[in-house]
Structure 1
Amino acid sequence: MSCTEEFPDHLLSLIKTSKYVHVATSSKDCVPSVSLMNYTYIPKEKSYKDDKSENAYIIFATLDNTEKYDNMLTNPTVSLLFHDWITANSISVRKTELSRSGTPTQSDVATPKEGPIVKSTPSHPSKLLNLLQELNQSELNQMSATIRGHATTIQPNSDESNYYKSLLLKTNPDAGVFILAENTVIVKVKIESAKVTDSENHTAIYD
């Protein structure tokens, strides 16, 4: 059973809809490194068809010439930080939950040289200012979650890689140029535990 089945709704919502995640890795010499990444949460029912483990995953793409990639090959234990300390529900940059989009068919599966590339359109500064001025402070989220997991790199150009790449593109269409780069490798992180902390320093641990 995936440990995420024990997660409360507010924790799952944070993991499903946050735009970015901080990924912490460590080298064989215990030198830490942190990267800000686009990602997608994969519930166990959306995992690749040949995966019988019934695990939930965090999926992201990395280049094969990065320190982060080398670290995960040497030490697959990673830490993921999701936080929403100062963004308001009404204006924060969010993405569509994977559960609200269909599972890709064979024709949807991306290859390294194809797939949607969508340029994001920034909001007009005055509109953002108006939203901030009207912001109700009670709507601010004040929670962070640290996920411990085990990272596995997926063989590039395999069916599994293309499947997860398509799901990553569905929830991060503005990152198409990066996700579809020739030397991109898809990484799946098995979620093993979580620690949640709020602004009042209340902490809960789930494993």
Structure 2
Amino acid sequence: MTDSLNPPLSYEASATTTHRHVATTLPPEVSSCLKNSRFLHLATCDGLTPHISLMSYTFLPSTPFDPYPTIIMTTNSSSRKTTHLQTNPRVSLLVHDWVSHRPPTRASNTGNTRDGSPPPAATRSSLASLLLNLNTSALSSISTTITGEARFLEPDSEEETWCKDRHLENNTFEEEMSTFGQVPPPGQRRPSLSIDEDVRVVTVRVREGRLADWKGGVRDWLVVQEGEEVSGEAGANGVVL
């Protein structure tokens, strides 16, 4: 019998379509995850070697240029991911809404025992413990993968200008600088993100993906427009029109 307090790391077969959810809107968990997370992981591939990048992003339920949910990112024109995307626009995105805090493990005889991150010394004070507990308790327990095609926006086009402005607005944090002891002048905001002239704006239409919880459960999802028919063929995440 499986211990309910210690579930297996992965218990559900998911090589094919699993608990598919088809709707005209994103599952609430996916929408919440995309709105609340600060970064996402972008996976690109040049055909042989995968590449992962940690990206700031902007999520919008729709734009004046696309009725589907959209993710906006920027990339340097000479970066590896840009080179990959120019030859292979297929991407995979991972967004999760839990912190990267790994508690101490019980594997004390393997030589790989971790003290946790942050280490115990960093959480001895009551304030540090309180903040850690609040941060952990406020988290959800899901992640979502998204598959699709990245699209470079035409430089100086109306769409690029609009998306660039939204991306800057979404990545400007008024209180973040003071968190690290650098207090901006009163009434002045310091953008946490700047966009150079040689940076390309990239969008990914959010149409299909997979939800995963911390217990290993999975559920595929697909966003469709009114009147669209869905076939039973399997795509990259098990779902496709």
- Establish whether residue 11 from structure 1 lines up as the match of residue 27 from structure 2: no
Identity level (%): 31
Tell me if structure 1 keeps the 8 A contact 2:27–2:221. Answer: no
Please state whether the residue corresponding to 1:85 is helix, strand or coil: coil
Q: Using the alignment, how far apart are the partners of 2:49 and 2:221 within structure 1?
A: 27
- Establish whether residue 198 from structure 1 lines up as the match of residue 213 from structure 2: yes
Q: Equivalences for 1:39-188 in 2 at 5 Å?
A: 39-44=57-62, 47-48=63-64, 51=65, 53-86=66-99, 129-132=128-131, 134-135=133-134, 138-173=137-172, 176=191, 178-188=193-203
Q: Using the alignment, how far apart are the partners of 1:187 and 1:158 within structure 2?
A: 13
Q: Using the alignment, how far apart are the partners of 2:77 and 2:132 within structure 1?
A: 44
**50, 54, 65: which is aligned to 1:32?**
50
The aligned residue for residue 93 of structure 1 is: none
Cα drift, residue 201 of structure 1:
1.0
Q: Taking structure 1 as the reference length, what is the TM-score of the superposition? A: 0.69
Tell me if structure 2 keeps the 8 A contact 1:60–1:186. Answer: yes
Change (3 A) 1:134 1:71: closer
Spell out structure 1 runs of 4+ moving beyond 6 A.
125-128
Please state whether the residue corresponding to 1:34 is helix, strand or coil: strand
Cα drift, residue 137 of structure 1:
5.7
- Letter of the aligned partner of 2:131 in structure 1? L
Please state whether the residue corresponding to 1:55 is helix, strand or coil: coil
Q: Taking structure 2 as the reference length, what is the TM-score of the superposition? A: 0.60
Cα drift, residue 156 of structure 1:
1.9
Tell me if structure 1 keeps the 8 A contact 2:171–2:192. Answer: no
Tell me if structure 2 keeps the 8 A contact 1:6–1:206. Answer: no
Cα drift, residue 73 of structure 1:
1.2
Tell me if structure 1 keeps the 8 A contact 2:44–2:84. Answer: yes
